[in-house]
Structure 1
Amino acid sequence: MLDNQSTMSDSSLHLLIARRVRELRAARGLSLEALATHCGVSRSMLSLIERGESSPTAVVLEKLATGLGVTLPSLFEAPAAAGDPVSRRGQQQSWRDPHSGYVRRNVSPAGVGSPIQLVEVEFPPGARVAYETAAREAQVHQQVWVLEGVIDITYGEEVFQLGAGDCLAMQLDRPMAFHNPSASTTRYAVAITTIRS
């Protein structure tokens, strides 16, 4: 189970996300207005996020990640010693979605240049999150491996009901939704890789 000790304070995490969004936007030479238009997030919301004054939902952060050409876990990456191949549990960033209450924790070491990102998720009973994911410049592939509980994943028009031990592979190129239909928390791991041409 994810523990509270590895969760940053809300203000620290907002500042981390703010810095990452500013860095990524600057690296792509985008103005606030251009990024807002590109990803479908209002300029005022984007400005609040970049100042660390907002608690954006997972849906808003996914829109930003798509618009910036990165994966969602990339928005939570803290500075790390370049090349350190070990990600210690106590230093891994956890974040709680203010809308659904689901908690995600970046597991992979940052700064090692690996194309693979691992995330652990705790999804509360009855929670639902729907992403308007669309095709990206680079192909992003994701696998969801259920460790405990059950999760229903809608991928485009298909619905997959997964239980403990099940694993679903998909490309992040269409809308998707996650729903925990049970009365217990579901825990799953996500492996994400980006293929650039």
Structure 2
Amino acid sequence: MSDTDLAQPPQLGEALAALRAKRQLTLDALSQRAGVSKSMLSQIERNQANPTVAVVWRLAHALGVELSELLEGAKPAQSGIEFVPAHATPSLASPDGLARLRILGPIELAGQYEWYELIVQPGGVLASQAHEPGSREHLSVLSGELVVETGGQRQLLGLGETARYAADQSHAIRNPGPELAVGLLVVLHA
């Protein structure tokens, strides 16, 4: 954070107005819920008032969001490119170490949409317990071969092929071939 970032407090107006609209609340209704005057709310939304932490907390509580969500929504939109070097991409390994997931998606989308680069050594397996009901996975093979097993079914995938399947039951992805297999795995949580 630069000194210029610290010189100005966050401008909550746009974030507050958007959250209020999303919840279909009038200024009057939010005023009653939060215990903040309607004129103060109007001034905050127009960035003409700087609310105290207590007022921001009451507004967040009345809107049913975390304080951080209201403050994060007040940050200026990011411009440019967010760069993540390869060495900074987090990864997870299977218990036997033969399968590895490189986490490609941003952490703020975890639990909604997740995408990974899946790298599986010959004979390796990535076994997963059931995700929440309605969850689905999409697996596309970039090199080698992978087998998806779910619900008593098995599907072999080769280069360029994709499988889409229910992930709300135990499932596994295996490398049956003699060479390294790489795929893109997208998880859509319900």
Alpha-carbon distance between aligned partners in 2 of 1:130 and 1:153, rounded to the nearest angstrom: 10
Match of 2:92 among 83, 87, 95: 95
Pairwise mapping of residues 13-52 of structure 1 onto structure 2 (< 5 A)?
A: none
The amino acid across from 1:116 in the alignment is Y
- Residues 118-168 of structure 1 deviation map (CA, whole Å, 9 limit, x = unaligned): 1001100111343342x62x5222100111000111111111000010111
* Structure 1 residue 188: Cα displacement: 0.4
Match of 2:166 among 166, 171, 181: 171
Alpha-carbon distance between aligned partners in 2 of 1:96 and 1:193, rounded to the nearest angstrom: 20
* Structure 1 residue 108: Cα displacement: 0.9
Q: Which residue of 2 aligns with 1:154?
A: 149
Match of 1:186 among 169, 181, 187: 181
The amino acid across from 1:108 in the alignment is G
- Mark the CA change 1:169 to 1:139 in structure 2 (over 3 Å): closer, same or farther: same
* Structure 1 residue 114: Cα displacement: 8.7
TM-score by length of 2: 0.51
The amino acid across from 2:95 in the alignment is P
The amino acid across from 1:143 in the alignment is H
- Unaligned residue ranges in structure 2 (runs of 5+): 1-74
- Mark the CA change 1:87 to 1:130 in structure 2 (over 3 Å): closer, same or farther: same
Alpha-carbon distance between aligned partners in 2 of 1:184 and 1:174, rounded to the nearest angstrom: 28
Computing the radius of gyration from Cα coordinates, the structure with the larger value is: 2
Answer yes or no: is the 8 Å Cα contact 1:87–1:107 preserved in 2: no
Residues matched between the structures, number: 112
Runs of 4+ in 1 over 4 A off after TM superposition: 82-85
Alpha-carbon distance between aligned partners in 2 of 1:87 and 1:170, rounded to the nearest angstrom: 31
The root-mean-square deviation of aligned C-alpha atoms, in Å, is 2.6
- Unaligned residue ranges in structure 1 (runs of 5+): 1-81
- SS of 1:111's partner is helix
Instruction: Provide the identity percentage.
Output: 17
